[in-house]
Amino acid sequence: MAGGRSGPRSPEAHAIPRSGLEDQLDQVNPSRGRRPLRSARRYAALAGAVLAGVAACAPQDGGGADGGGGSAACEPGALPTLEEGVLTIGTDTPAYPPWFTDEPSSGEGYESAVAYAVAEELGYAEENVVWESVTFNNAVQPGPKPYDFDINQFSITEERRKAVDFSSPYYDVRQTVVAMAGSEAAGAESLEELKKADLGAQVGTTSLDAIDEAIGPDTDPQVFNNNDDAKKALENEQIGALVVDLPTAFYITGTELEDAEIVGQLPPLESGGEQFGLVLDKDSPLTGCVTAAVDALHGSGTLADLERKWLSEAAEVPELS
């Protein structure tokens, strides 16, 4: 996982309370033409739905991006989803720019736009898409899922592959150093100069890994439960610099911390570049179809167009070495 978001990638985001079966089918939101975010389904009901979906489709040879679960024939709009004829997409709440603007169902923001583009590739119109509130950590835990796929800046890792499936990647991520203007860290022009800085990152993130691998600071980095805490520490000079993914860095410096600035990008990690993938239940019959949809969006240039529209360009951010 990349460096935490100011909210968008925090595992501490508040979950909407679960409701009974009577609350599972929401009405279409007339103002948006899309169904709103729904509270989590009961997992007991989910298990039966997942098993029924798996039994209903005949798997083809080969797996999805994980090479694990079989994939159903990708008949547009007729996949073995949790709810027949409906595609359920999970994400955390609250959700923040540049990934989401307003509510996840708005179609505004990079990940909301990607989600609807994938849905369209799969044959599901906007009115047949519903959103499910799922906390970041719960989305990648083993067990039945309350979504068909989840989009929430999940880095594809081998450890997570043990519990869930991933689609092919829809975004390649770079890690970035943010500091307060005028600070010693803000003037750093090399990785060597950052070794002396008191660095911080969100717990369990690729950003935290990048501090150790790319910088190797003289002192252990400070670790925060979420990015809001990390930003406060940066603003209060409890840390000298914060490491986050590049899109989050643009958001922090552009809208949240007036005096913060981007120091530069860290080099690609030897352990492999970070990539975001859609999350599905382990061995989901949908994995192959969702991966094919993402690949089609890559091939058509749609993902590149959405990235240019919703995420800031990185060309003018220096790379630290």
The CATH number of 21-172+274-310 is 3.40.190.10
Per-residue confidence (pLDDT) for residue 319, from 0 to 100 = 83
Predicted local distance difference test score (pLDDT) of residue 54: 38
pLDDT in tens, 81-97: 999 999 999 999 888 88
> What per-residue confidence (pLDDT) applies to 97?
80
Answer with the residue of higher pLDDT: 177 or 318. 177
Measured distance CA(160)–CA(142) in Å, rounded: 9
Digit-coded pLDDT (tens) for 108-165: 999 999 999 999 999 999 999 999 999 999 999 999 999 999 999 998 999 999 999 9
**Domain 21-172+274-310 shares a fold with domain 175-265:** yes
The residues spanned by each domain of the chain are: 21-172+274-310, 175-265
The confidence band for 268, taking pLDDT boundaries of 50, 70 and 90, is confident
Q: Name the residue with higher pLDDT: 53 or 218.
A: 218
Q: Give the model's pLDDT for residue 65.
A: 55
Alpha-carbon span 318 to 108, nearest angstrom: 29
Superfamily for 175-265? Periplasmic binding protein-like II (3.40.190.10)
Q: Which of 9-13, 64-68, 263-267, 288-292 has the lowest mean pLDDT?
A: 9-13
- 278 and 206 Cβ atoms separated by less than 8 Å: no
Per-residue CA distances from 270 to 209, 214, 273 (Å): 11, 9, 8
Q: Is the pLDDT of residue 4 over 50?
A: no
The pLDDT confidence band at residue 56, using thresholds 50, 70 and 90, is very low
Whole-number pLDDT of residue 317: 76
Mean pLDDT, residues 241-254: 90
pLDDT of 316 reads 59
Predicted pLDDT at 272: 67
Q: Which of 10-24, 33-47, 193-207, 224-238 has the lowest mean pLDDT?
A: 10-24
Phi, psi angle pair for 196, to nearest 5°: -85, -10
Confidence of residue 38 (pLDDT cuts 50, 70, 90): low
Helices (H), the chain: 43-56, 110-122, 136-139, 158-161, 191-194, 206-210, 227-235, 246-251, 287-300, 302-310
Per the prediction, the chain carries an average pLDDT of: 81
Of 297 and 64, the structure prediction assigns the larger pLDDT to 297
- What are the angstrom distances between the C-alpha of 128 and each of 4, 26, 41, 308? 31, 11, 17, 27
Q: What is the pLDDT of residue 312?
A: 53
As a whole number of angstroms, the distance between CA 111 and CA 109 comes to 6
pLDDT of 269 reads 81
What pLDDT shows up at residue 9? 42
Query: 238: which 2 tokens?
Result: 């409890």
